[in-house]
Amino acid sequence: MTTSSEAEKLIVVTGASTGMGASTARELARRGFHVLAGVRRESDADTVRAAGIEPVILDITDSGHVEALAARVADDPRPLHALVNNAGIQVNAPVETLPLTEWRRVFEVNLFGHIAVTQALLPALLRSKGRVINISSVGGKYAMATYGAYAGAKFALEAVSDSLRREVAPLGVQVVVVEPGGVRTKIAARGIATANDLAARMTPEQAERYGGLVLANNELMATGTASGLTPDAAAQVVVKAVTIRRPRARYTAGRDAALIMRLGPMLSDRMLDRVLAANLRRHRPKGTAFAHAG
C-alpha cells in the first residue's frame, strides 16, 4: 500500500525512454515517488518528463553518466528507496557467427552497466535500507538458439543478483529479480533488425547452416512479443517488487514466463531441446531448413 511518505522518496529507473521502463516510471510517479528516469537522449527526456518524473541523461556504460547520477542522488535530501536496473539490448545470432565485439557490447549493457550503477548507488541504498530490482528474463534461466549472448548476460545477472542479495541482506538492502516473458515493447523489433543485419554478414557456409534458424527465430520473437504482456502490465510486477514490504527474491511477469519456469525444471535437457526445436519449426518459413535438435 502506498503512503504519503513515498512522496519523500527517490527511485532510479534505468532504460526509461520507452516500454516497460517508461511504464514503470509513470506508475511509480503516480504512486507518489519522485522518479529519476534514465534516458539516453534529450528527445527522450522531453517525452518522459512529467509530474514526479525527472529525466536524467544516462548511458549506463558511460562512467561519467553513472558518476553524475550518483552525485544527483547524493545531493538530494530524499532517501533512495529503490534502483530499478531495466536498461538492456537484445542481440540474437548463432554463437559461431556473432562477432566478439557484439558479445562484449551485449555484456557491457546487460550486465556490466547494471553492476556499475549498482556499485555507484549502493552507499545511498545502504543508508536508506532500500532495494535493488534487476530486470532479467526467462532467458536468464533458459537459453534458446541464437540467444547465447543475451541469455549469457542474463544468466550472469541472475548470479550477480543472488550473490548481491546474500551480501547486503544482513545490511538491510533487499535484492529482487523480475523475469519477464514476452512484452510488447520495441526491444524485439530492434532485436529482429539487428539479427537480420548480423545474418547478412554471415559467410555463405554459415548462411546455409543457420539462415533458416535465424528466420524462424525472428518469426518466433515477433509472434511472442505480439501476444505478450503490455508494458503497463509488466510494469505492475516491477512496481510490486519495489513497493511490497516483504518482496520475494524473484517474480515472473507474464503467463508464458510462469509456465516456462514451472515446466523447465521438470524436463531433461534433451527433452527441452526437442520441445524448443519443435516450437522453432512451427515458425520456419517455407523453403528453409535448419538442424534438428535432439
The CA distance from 207 to 228, in Å, is: 30
Contact between residue 83 and residue 132 where contact means Cβ atoms under 8 Å apart = yes
Question: Among this protein's residues, is 251 annotated catalytic?
Answer: no
Report the half-sphere exposure of 35 (CA within 13 A, side-chain side): 31
Q: Which residue matches cell numbers 544468466? A: 155
Q: Kindly write down the DSSP assignment for every residue of 231-287, as one continuous string.
A: HHHHHHHHHHHHH-SS--SEEEESHHHHHHHHHGGGS-HHHHHHHHHHHHHHTPPTT
User: Which stretches of the chain are DSSP H helices?
Assistant: 19-30, 42-48, 63-74, 100-107, 113-128, 148-168, 186-200, 204-226, 231-243, 255-263, 269-282
Q: With left for phi above 0 and alpha for psi between -120 and 50, is residue 146 left, alpha or beta?
A: left
The CA distance from 193 to 181, in Å, is: 20
Q: Which residue matches cell numbers 506508475? A: 27
Candidate list 142, 150, 210, 251, residue with the active-site label: 150
Which amino acid does the sequence have at 141?
A: K
What strands lie across the sheet with 174-180, from one edge to the other?
A: 53-57, 34-39, 10-13, 80-85, 131-135, 174-180, 250-253
The CA distance from 165 to 132, in Å, is: 9
11: closest CA among 63, 100, 72, 67? 72
Contact between residue 60 and residue 66 where contact means Cβ atoms under 8 Å apart = yes
Catalytic residues: 150
